[in-house]
């Protein structure tokens, strides 16, 4: 149980926020940040633990978004089942894409390019296919109620997305501590060596892709329920692929809390930059970009990696002074 | 009884740690307010001023703020005082717009004006509906914006249905008048809500008017290279090209056609992003020449519209439709506020629903909202002639006759 205590503590603190903060602006901000954290955690399973840097996680996010919306709007499926359907569809797509790509032996930049291209192909298909509403998109009717998975209160949405993030944190922790996690990390560190030791690299990567896709698709399903509108640019646009990989990179790739920390920091930075620049259009984005570059430059292993290094440095420095004195003495 | 002035450890932690977290996470990130002294009325002005639609968004913001400045200079809304503009940036995305609606609601605005793009408007009006916050859509033309039964949503300008109907009727009339020189058509449209919706309508209705559609080419926004699209057009050599895209893409497409010397009998836009833009005509007069457009346009006989044009041009800005539509929308809200006698959202919604406002600069007549849509709103047809934009239809507003087919 012990390894899960930090997760429980973080979730408990975050769950208490709506009791203290009543501003819907803040809750909306946190909901979006947590949604990005969820998408980022999906990317982190495959990219962080498995070393497979996908540039096209929009494919899973978008599939989750569209399936949730289409099941409700076109087939009258209950929103909650639509939500589950979206996750399943995302996972299935992850499995199919993983089987295709990993069986073909595509790695590194080739893998990144294929995922990028795949998401783009889906975007183009979604922009013309009648079932997605083509360029017009799909609009879920505003109909507040538990049955329709639409809430007046932002706090309700906040707790739902927090619960999803909680599940993803537990999953990441379980993977990190499991045999499967060890295989995944072995594949990341040296795929050929892992294979030599008997690890079925392509199956391990495909399973990781399924889990990764399911988590990112869950973020997409949530998007559909929260914003009630989806078009091809939103669902399969590059924005979400970038957000999904940026947050773990900033927070700490291959760490349980990296995506969550990264999402909160990146989104707060964006808001702070906006606050700082007032009404000068675009200036906030310049500041935001500059700070991000600086963070990656100073802490290439992300915030969690940076903090760990700083802690190590401080520990080393503390006893270093007396040792130095002895040497000189 | 809690002791005054003393703070317990728990209270201290609650107020500092969570307060800091709240501040850090944006609860204090309110949209900035252009303060007018003692102003009781806050009005949300929401546009995509950054991102792919930034030019249009900034023009929209200009129109709205000019109207607010004028109203405030004249003493504000009668009985209520001056208007505070709470500016918001939708960042060219629906979720960016929704976040701004949340902030504006927290800032206690009485109404929101703007949105510009259809997909932003769909999301933002719905977000505002949760708070029964009145929302006046400036441009967003998707019919879905006003057919969802949202009581808070009002659209001042025309929607797809009316625009496409007018555009098709006028195209048929222009072609007929010229002896039907145009028989084949190619449509180039951006692939989001606005362009695709329009392309769908044109594909359904143009064949009924006797036109053959050779091909419909979608493209994303932003697109920065139209060479392949224009090569396709060149290969098929249609009589008429119908572009439906936002400003930057429209300009690029027209320039690429000019570079590759593609000269169809006519370029007829429906809501062409640049076709009715003075900026485009001034910067690329050759590419713009003879382009026809069915679009939002000011009433050229309206003194107020011409005065606003002068004012905008004196600021070295172009008089685009975003400017005068937002300008009109703010005046519409100000009129409703005056009649409601209060900034109360429910009263303002009622006042907007019963509005018969005629003090705007558009050729619409007095406003009359039916299910949130201004029934009098209609587009006009323009053509770029003599390095200027002239109205060619309807004849009641026209200051030039159409030149079609374009001279060689």
Q: Which chain A residues contact residue B220 at CB under 8 A?
A: 123, 127, 233
Q: What is the pLDDT of residue B128?
A: 94
SS3 (DSSP) at A324 = helix
Q: Note down the domain range covering B237.
A: 161-295+381-393
Which has the closest alpha carbon to A210: A17, A42, A1?
A: A42
How many domains does the structure of chain B reveal? 2
Answer yes or no: is B63 within a domain: yes
Token output for B89: 């940036």
- Mean pLDDT, chain A, rounded, equals 89
SS3 (DSSP) at B335 = helix
Considering the domain architecture, whether residues B306 and B272 belong to the same structural domain is answered as: no
Looking up tokens 């959202």 gives B345
Answer yes or no: is B400 within a domain: no
Are B332 and B156 in contact by the 8 Å Cβ rule? The answer is yes
How does strand B292-295 pair with strand B212-219?
unpaired
Q: What is the pLDDT of residue A175?
A: 95
Contact A29 B26 (CB under 8 A): yes
Mean of the pLDDT values across residues A64-85?
A: 96
Are B90 and B96 in contact by the 8 Å Cβ rule? The answer is yes
Q: Which chain B residues contact residue A281 at CB under 8 A?
A: 49-50, 54, 57-58, 89
Considering the domain architecture, whether residues B387 and B287 belong to the same structural domain is answered as: yes
Answer yes or no: is B18 within a domain: no
Q: How far is CA A126 from CA A66, A228, A301, B197, in A?
A: 9, 17, 36, 14
Considering the domain architecture, whether residues B152 and B48 belong to the same structural domain is answered as: yes
pLDDT above 70: residue B127: yes
Token output for B159: 């929607």
Token output for A272: 């702070």
Instruction: Say what the pTM is.
Output: 0.78
How does strand B388-393 pair with strand B240-244?
unpaired
What kind of architecture, by CATH, is found in domain A2-264? Orthogonal Bundle (1.10)
How does strand B380-385 pair with strand B292-295?
antiparallel
Considering the domain architecture, whether residues B116 and B51 belong to the same structural domain is answered as: yes
Contact B98 A274 (CB under 8 A): no
Higher pLDDT: A130 or A5? It is A5
Does the CA dihedral B360-B363-B365-B370 come out positive or negative?
negative
pLDDT above 90: residue A287: no
Answer yes or no: is B337 within a domain: yes
pLDDT confidence band for A281 (50 / 70 / 90): low
pLDDT above 70: residue A329: no
Q: What is the pLDDT of residue B28?
A: 35
Considering the domain architecture, whether residues B234 and B171 belong to the same structural domain is answered as: yes
Render pLDDT for B230-248 as a digit per residue (tens, 0 to 9).
999 999 999 999 998 888 8
Considering the domain architecture, whether residues B69 and B90 belong to the same structural domain is answered as: yes
Alpha carbon distance B63, B66 (integer Å): 5
Mean of the pLDDT values across residues A61-75?
A: 96
Which has the closest alpha carbon to A252: A43, A58, A92?
A: A43
CA distance A217 to chain B (A): 18
How does strand B153-155 pair with strand B135-137?
parallel
DSSP of B112-181, one letter per residue?
Answer: EEE--SHHHHHHHHHHHHTTT--EEESS---GGGGSS--TTEEE-S--HHHHHHHHHHHHHHHHHHTTS-
CA distance B193 to chain A (A): 4
Beta-bridge partner residues of B282: none
pLDDT confidence band for A275 (50 / 70 / 90): confident
Kindly state whether B346 is in contact with chain A, defined as any CB-CB distance less than 8 angstroms: no
Q: What share of chain A is helix, strand, coil (3-state, %, to 5)?
A: 80, 0, 20
Answer yes or no: is B119 within a domain: yes
Answer yes or no: is B401 within a domain: no
Contact A20 B18 (CB under 8 A): yes
Considering the domain architecture, whether residues B170 and B134 belong to the same structural domain is answered as: no
Considering the domain architecture, whether residues B118 and B193 belong to the same structural domain is answered as: no
Are B256 and B287 in contact by the 8 Å Cβ rule? The answer is no
CA distance B395 to chain A (A): 33
ipTM for the whole complex: 0.73
Render pLDDT for A190-242 as a digit per residue (tens, 0 to 9).
999 999 999 999 999 999 999 999 999 999 999 999 988 898 888 999 889 99
pLDDT above 50: residue B10: no
Token output for B190: 């951006």
Mean of the pLDDT values across residues B2-23?
A: 39
Contact A232 B191 (CB under 8 A): yes
Q: Among A23, A132, A242, which would you mutate to test the B interface (most chain B Cβ atoms within 10 Å of its Cβ)?
A: A23
pLDDT confidence band for B319 (50 / 70 / 90): very high
pLDDT above 50: residue B4: no
Alpha carbon distance B206, A249 (integer Å): 51
pLDDT above 60: residue B25: no
Q: Name every residue whose Cβ is closer than 8 Å to that of residue B42 and which is 6 or more positions away in sequence.
A: B33, B83, B84, B86, B107, B108, B109, B110, B343
Does the CA dihedral B267-B272-B275-B279 come out positive or negative?
negative
Considering the domain architecture, whether residues B187 and B329 belong to the same structural domain is answered as: no
What CATH number is attached to the domain comprising B58? 3.40.50.2300
Q: What is the pLDDT of residue A318?
A: 65
Are A173 and A7 in contact by the 8 Å Cβ rule? The answer is yes
Q: What is the pLDDT of residue B323?
A: 96
Token output for A127: 């922009």
Smallest Cβ distance to B193: which of A26, A128, A135?
Answer: A135
pLDDT above 60: residue B205: yes
Considering the domain architecture, whether residues B91 and B228 belong to the same structural domain is answered as: no
Mean of the pLDDT values across residues B293-322?
A: 93
Render pLDDT for A296-321 as a digit per residue (tens, 0 to 9).
888 888 888 888 888 888 887 766 54
Q: How far is CA B85 from CA B33, B206, B367, in A?
A: 6, 43, 23
Considering the domain architecture, whether residues B177 and B199 belong to the same structural domain is answered as: yes
Alpha helices (H) along A178-200: 179-189, 191-196
Q: What is the pLDDT of residue B361?
A: 94
Task: For residue B83, give the H/E element and its range.
Answer: strand B83-89
Alpha carbon distance A290, A287 (integer Å): 5
Considering the domain architecture, whether residues B387 and B244 belong to the same structural domain is answered as: yes
Question: Would you tell me which residues 108-147 of chain B have a C-beta closer than 8 angstroms to some C-beta of chain A?
Answer: 119, 122-123, 126, 129-130, 142, 144
Answer yes or no: is B344 within a domain: yes
């Amino acid at each position: 149980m012990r390894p899960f205590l930090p997760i429980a503590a973080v979730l408990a603190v975050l769950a208490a926020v709506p009791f203290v903060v009543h501003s819907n602006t803040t809750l909306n901000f946190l909901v979006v940040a947590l949604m990005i954290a969820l998408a980022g955690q999906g990317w982190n399973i495959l990219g962080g633990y498995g070393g497979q840097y996908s540039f096209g996680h929009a494919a899973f996010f978008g599939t989750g978004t569209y399936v949730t919306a289409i099941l409700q709007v076109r087939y009258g499926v209950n929103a909650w089942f639509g939500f589950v359907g979206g996750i399943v569809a995302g996972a299935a797509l992850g499995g199919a894409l993983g089987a295709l790509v990993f069986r073909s032996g595509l790695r590194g930049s080739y893998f990144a390019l294929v995922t990028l291209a795949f998401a783009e192909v889906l975007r183009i298909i979604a922009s013309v296919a009648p079932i997605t509403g083509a360029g017009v998109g799909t609009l879920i009717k505003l109909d507040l109620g538990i049955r329709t998975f639409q809430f007046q209160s932002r706090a309700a949405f906040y707790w739902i997305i927090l619960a999803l993030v909680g599940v993803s944190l537990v999953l990441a922790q379980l993977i990190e501590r499991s045999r499967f996690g060890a295989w995944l990390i072995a594949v990341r560190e040296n795929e050929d060596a892992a294979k030599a030791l008997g690890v079925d690299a392509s199956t391990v990567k495909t399973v990781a892709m399924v889990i990764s896709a399911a988590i990112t698709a869950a973020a997409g399903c949530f998007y559909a329920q929260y914003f009630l509108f989806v078009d091809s640019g939103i669902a399969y646009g590059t924005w979400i692929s970038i957000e999904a990989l940026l947050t773990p990179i900033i927070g700490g790739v291959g760490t349980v809390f990296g995506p969550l920390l990264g999402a909160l920091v990146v989104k707060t930075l964006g808001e702070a930059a906006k606050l700082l620049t007032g009404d000068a259009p675009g200036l906030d984005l310049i500041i935001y970009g500059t700070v991000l570059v600086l963070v990656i430059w100073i802490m290439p292993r992300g915030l969690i990696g940076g903090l760990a290094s700083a802690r190590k440095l401080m520990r080393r420095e503390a006893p270093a002074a007396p040792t130095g004195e002895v040497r000189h003495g | 009884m809690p002791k005054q002035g003393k703070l317990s450890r728990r209270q201290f932690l609650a107020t500092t740690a969570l307060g800091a977290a709240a501040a850090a996470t944006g609860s204090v990130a309110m949209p900035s307010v252009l303060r007018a002294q003692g102003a009781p009325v806050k009005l949300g002005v929401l546009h995509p001023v950054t991102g792919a639609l930034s030019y249009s968004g900034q023009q929209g913001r200009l129109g709205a703020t000019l109207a607010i400045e004028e109203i405030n200079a004249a003493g504000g809304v009668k009985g209520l005082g001056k208007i505070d503009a709470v500016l918001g940036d939708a960042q060219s995305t629906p979720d960016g717009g929704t976040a701004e609606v949340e902030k504006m609601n927290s800032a206690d605005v009485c109404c929101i004006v703007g949105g510009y793009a259809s997909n932003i408007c769909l999301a933002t009006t719905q977000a505002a509906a949760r708070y029964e916050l009145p929302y006046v859509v400036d441009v967003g033309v998707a019919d879905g914006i006003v057919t969802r039964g949202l009581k808070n949503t009002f659209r001042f300008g025309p929607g797809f249905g009316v625009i496409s109907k007018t555009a098709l009727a006028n195209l048929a009339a222009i072609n007929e008048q010229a002896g039907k020189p145009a028989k084949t058509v190619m449509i180039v449209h951006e692939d989001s809500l606005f362009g695709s919706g329009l392309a769908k309508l044109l594909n359904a209705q143009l064949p009924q008017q006797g036109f053959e559609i050779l091909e419909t080419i979608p493209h994303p926004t932003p697109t920065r290279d139209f060479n392949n699209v224009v090569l396709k057009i060149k290969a098929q050599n249609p009589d008429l090209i119908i572009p439906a895209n936002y400003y930057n893409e429209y300009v690029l497409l027209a320039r690429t056609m000019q570079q590759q010397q593609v000269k169809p009998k006519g370029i007829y836009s429906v809501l062409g992003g640049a076709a009715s833009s003075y900026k485009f005509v001034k910067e690329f007069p050759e590419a713009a020449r003879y382009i026809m457009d069915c679009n939002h346009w000011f009433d050229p006989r309206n003194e107020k519209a011409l005065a606003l044009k002068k004012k905008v041009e004196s600021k070295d800005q172009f008089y685009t439709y975003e400017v005068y539509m937002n300008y009109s929308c703010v005046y519409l809200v100000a009129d409703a506020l005056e009649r409601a006698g209060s900034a109360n959202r429910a009263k303002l919604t009622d006042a907007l629903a019963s509005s018969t406002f005629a003090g705007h600069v558009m050729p619409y007549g007095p406003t009359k909202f039916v299910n949130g849509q201004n029934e009098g709103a209609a587009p006009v047809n323009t053509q770029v002639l003599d390095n200027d934009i002239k109205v060619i239809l309807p004849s009641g507003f026209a200051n030039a006759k159409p030149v079609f087919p374009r001279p060689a």
